[in-house]
Amino acid sequence: MRRILTILDLFRVDTSNPDLMQAQMRALHNHVPLLYLILAINSTAVAVTHLGVAPNWITVYPLVGLLSVCALRLGLWLRRRQRPLDAQATPAKLRATIALAGLLAASFMAWGVALLRYGDAYAQAHVLFYVGNTMIACAFCLAHLRAASLLVMAIVVVPFCLYVGYLDNHVMRAIALNLLVVSGALAFVLLTYHRDFTRLIGQQVELERLSRDNLRLANIDTLTGLPNRRSFFTSLEAATQAAEARGDGFVVGLVDLDGFKPVNDAHGHGAGDAVLQETAGRLQAVLGDSGVVARLGGDEFGLILSSAHGATALAKTGEALCGALAAPFRLPNGGSAQIAASIGFASCPEAGYKSAILVERADYALYYAKANSRGSAVLFTEEHERLLRTQSVIEQALRHADLAREMSLVYQPIVDVRSGRTIAFEALARWKSPELGQISPAVFVPIAERSGLITRITAVLFGQALAAARAWPDSIALSFNLSMADIASPQAAANIVATVKASGLAPGRVVLEATETALIQDVDQAQKVLRTLRANGIAIALDDFGTGYSSLSYVHRLPLDKLKIDRSFISEITTDPASRDIVTSILALARNLKLCCVVEGIETAEQARLLESLGCVQMQGYHFHRPMGFSDTLDYLDAEVARAPHRVQAVA
């Protein structure tokens, strides 16, 4: 019983394997038209040799009927080739094909048998040849549909052989035996072929699945599940092309988290990962279907806002995005973290149609936001375009500058107000470009930092500063400003130490100033570098203190000697109680951490008096002296020596 069922299975469509059915359908699309062509030509040839031999109602009429059915089916198959496969309808189509194959096989075979009774031995031999040959050709054309192929063979061979055996003609019997043997072999080959074909399709499907998975993985950020950088740029390219074709626009956004690194450093990578995942979710929640959110790497995210936003609508979206990220983040360890995000937008076509340019401009808007309004979104405008152009002019001039000739230093005294004596000079860079004239360090230093030129500038200036300091009395220190790139590696630290040693100036007279932003990019690295410097006797000052966003949490982790309170607190200290409170608390903090404090930007005697009453000792600012050239520092020091004793007496 079971064996019969297995045999019956050979004639069924395997509906449990949809991929196989699709592949069978595709193969039939190619082979079935060929089958009908062979059938038509072979049958017509037989009919022609029997014309006039057998009556027309046997030769011509049945054939016309059968060939009409074949022509209809051929038309259908040819039309199917133009259309995509319909997976739902495939099983029914395959079943219909099997049934029709059986029906046509039986009909043509019956027609052939009917013709056998007419004509001479040649004509009969032609019919035998026709039946066997055509059956084999059709079985081959249907090879991908095992059931149809076997059915055709069974329907033709079995009755045909029985009939021929019954005729009692030994030549015919021999031919029938030939056909039987060949059919048996063919059936065996077909069964093997079907098994291999099924296996091949299975492998193909698996391969396609794997390559789909690979493609998906290559385009997805595994941490957040968002599209990754590669996918973002592909989408962006598609968006620019679509916008250009349709003549409309869209907006590119770059999001950068402010204060992510401290969370990662202080709470561990698990916390950092959680923050990034949460960030992804919040960005998606705000944008919904109106945009794409991608993770570009680190704490940087990319946005593509599909609809052409007006400036006001975009500002609202920006506010909503920043607002969403300003809410506290819950950390896996139960704590929470406050993070903010700055966003740069560039809209297409206003900022360009090229994706690289759009990203560059969004990046500039982001940089602008970080420098001027942290925690907010900035849209790239014509004003930025103008700035960017100026900056690129400056960058070009800087690249081609003769640094040793064009760069110089001025020195601003840092005064101990108890003794009235200058204790140090801060070296401040000056650049006079032959083409652009005098350019402020507030302008060219950030450009040099962004373009990687700063280390060369530092090398030139540090040499000049050390030489100047050697001309001052031993009691006067040199305070020199460093950028992030200057302290980014142990090698950089070693270079600084070597330069100081080579200059002959006692390392104890050197103070290096770095901003918090420069130091917290990589706290571990900064700690190592600062330790090396301090181990060699060089002092470290944290510059612009109070302007960073995580100030207090970081000070105790960095090996520091000095804090320089940012001048933004000083300008309003006599009028704004909040500024006074901040300065008071920073002074208390410095005292607790046993750090020396310098207040900079003091412009009036009133400010100096107030700060002195709060306990400030070291001060710097226009009130004491503006930055001056090197030779002026020597006159200045001489003058100070001449007047200092009075001041000391006055204090005493």
Interface residues toward ligand C2E, by CB under 6 A: 412, 428-429, 440-442, 445, 461, 481-483, 513, 543-544, 567, 600-603, 621-622, 627
**What is the Cα 533 distance to its own chain's centre?**
38
CA distance 300 to 618: 40
**Minimum CB separation from ligand C2E for residue 393, in Å?**
19
User: Smaller CB distance to ligand C2E: residue 201 or 602?
Assistant: 602
- CB contact at 8 A, 308 and 248: yes
Cβ neighbourhood burial of 252 (10 Å; 0-12, 13-18, 19+) = buried
**Minimum CB separation from ligand C2E for residue 425, in Å?**
12
Strands 510-515 and 562-565: unpaired
User: Smaller CB distance to ligand C2E: residue 62 or 621?
Assistant: 621
Cβ neighbourhood burial of 580 (10 Å; 0-12, 13-18, 19+) = middle
User: Smaller CB distance to ligand C2E: residue 118 or 549?
Assistant: 549
CA distance 279 to 271: 12
Stretch that binds Ca ion, among 187-195, 280-288, 351-359, 474-482 (CB under 5 A): 474-482
Beta bridge partners of residue 379, listed in sequence order: 345
Overall size of the chain counted in residues:
652
User: Residue 452, CB half-sphere, CA atoms under 13 Å: how many?
Assistant: 0
Residue 209 three-state SS:
helix
Decide which of ligand C2E, Ca ion, none touches 652; Cβ closer than 5 to 8 Å per partner kind. none
Beta bridge partners of residue 542, listed in sequence order: 514, 563
User: Smaller CB distance to ligand C2E: residue 278 or 543?
Assistant: 543
Stretch that binds Ca ion, among 97-105, 107-115, 167-175, 540-548 (CB under 5 A): 540-548
Decide which of Ca ion, ligand C2E, none touches 470; Cβ closer than 5 to 8 Å per partner kind. none
**Minimum CB separation from ligand C2E for residue 216, in Å?**
45
Strands 596-599 and 562-565: parallel
**Minimum CB separation from ligand C2E for residue 445, in Å?**
4
User: Smaller CB distance to ligand C2E: residue 261 or 567?
Assistant: 567
Angle CA 482–488–494, to nearest 5: 85
- CB contact at 8 A, 542 and 577: no
Decide which of Ca ion, ligand C2E, none touches 344; Cβ closer than 5 to 8 Å per partner kind. none
**Minimum CB separation from ligand C2E for residue 547, in Å?**
10
User: Smaller CB distance to ligand C2E: residue 487 or 637?
Assistant: 487
Decide which of ligand C2E, Ca ion, none touches 304; Cβ closer than 5 to 8 Å per partner kind. none
Instruction: Indicate which single residue of 258, 299, 486, 544 sits in contact with Ca ion (rule: CB under 5 A).
Output: 544
Quickly count: other Cβ atoms within 10 Å of residue 133's Cβ. 13
Decide which of Ca ion, ligand C2E, none touches 428; Cβ closer than 5 to 8 Å per partner kind. ligand C2E
User: Smaller CB distance to ligand C2E: residue 1 or 442?
Assistant: 442
Decide which of Ca ion, ligand C2E, none touches 633; Cβ closer than 5 to 8 Å per partner kind. none
User: Smaller CB distance to Ca ion: residue 341 or 511?
Assistant: 511
Decide which of ligand C2E, Ca ion, none touches 265; Cβ closer than 5 to 8 Å per partner kind. none
3-class DSSP string for 475-503: CCEEEEECCHHHHCCHHHHHHHHHHHHHH
User: Smaller CB distance to ligand C2E: residue 287 or 520?
Assistant: 520
User: Smaller CB distance to Ca ion: residue 278 or 426?
Assistant: 426
User: Smaller CB distance to Ca ion: residue 142 or 460?
Assistant: 460
Decide which of Ca ion, ligand C2E, none touches 647; Cβ closer than 5 to 8 Å per partner kind. none
Q: At 408, phi and psi to the nearest 5? A: -145, 180
**Minimum CB separation from Ca ion for residue 263, in Å?**
26
Decide which of ligand C2E, Ca ion, none touches 342; Cβ closer than 5 to 8 Å per partner kind. none
User: Smaller CB distance to ligand C2E: residue 299 or 426?
Assistant: 426
**What is the Cα 650 distance to its own chain's centre?**
67
Which residue reads 């007419």 in tokens? 118
**Minimum CB separation from ligand C2E for residue 621, in Å?**
3
CA distance 295 to 254: 10
**Minimum CB separation from Ca ion for residue 552, in Å?**
18
CA distance 111 to 105: 10
Closest CA to 513 of 487, 552, 546: 487
CA distances from 398 to 120, 163, 390, 481, 533 (A): 105, 101, 12, 19, 29
**Minimum CB separation from ligand C2E for residue 572, in Å?**
12
- Using CB under 5 A as the binding rule, whether residue 486 contacts Ca ion is answered as no
**Minimum CB separation from Ca ion for residue 371, in Å?**
15
| Host H or E run for residue 173 | helix 170-218
Closest CA to 637 of 343, 423, 354: 423
CA distance 623 to 605: 7
- Using CB under 5 A as the binding rule, whether residue 265 contacts Ca ion is answered as no
User: Smaller CB distance to Ca ion: residue 13 or 608?
Assistant: 608
Extract the tokens encoding 335. Answer: 């704590």
**Minimum CB separation from ligand C2E for residue 292, in Å?**
38
State the binding string over 498-517 for Ca ion (x if CB under 5 A, else -). Answer: ---------------x----
Decide which of Ca ion, ligand C2E, none touches 483; Cβ closer than 5 to 8 Å per partner kind. ligand C2E
User: Smaller CB distance to Ca ion: residue 265 or 513?
Assistant: 513
**Minimum CB separation from ligand C2E for residue 597, in Å?**
15
Extract the tokens encoding 559. Answer: 């090996």
Stretch that binds Ca ion, among 125-133, 138-146, 205-213, 476-484 (CB under 5 A): 476-484
What is the full DSSP assignment across 618-641? Answer: EE-STTT---B-HHHHHHHHHHHH
Instruction: Indicate which single residue of 543, 546, 586, 608 sits in contact with Ca ion (rule: CB under 5 A).
Output: 543
Stretch that binds Ca ion, among 127-135, 183-191, 322-330, 544-552 (CB under 5 A): 544-552
- CB contact at 8 A, 433 and 397: yes
User: Any residues with CB less than 8 A from the CB of 509 and at least 6 apart, and which?
Assistant: 469, 474, 476, 477, 478
Which residues make up the interface to Ca ion (CB under 5 A)? 481, 513, 543-544
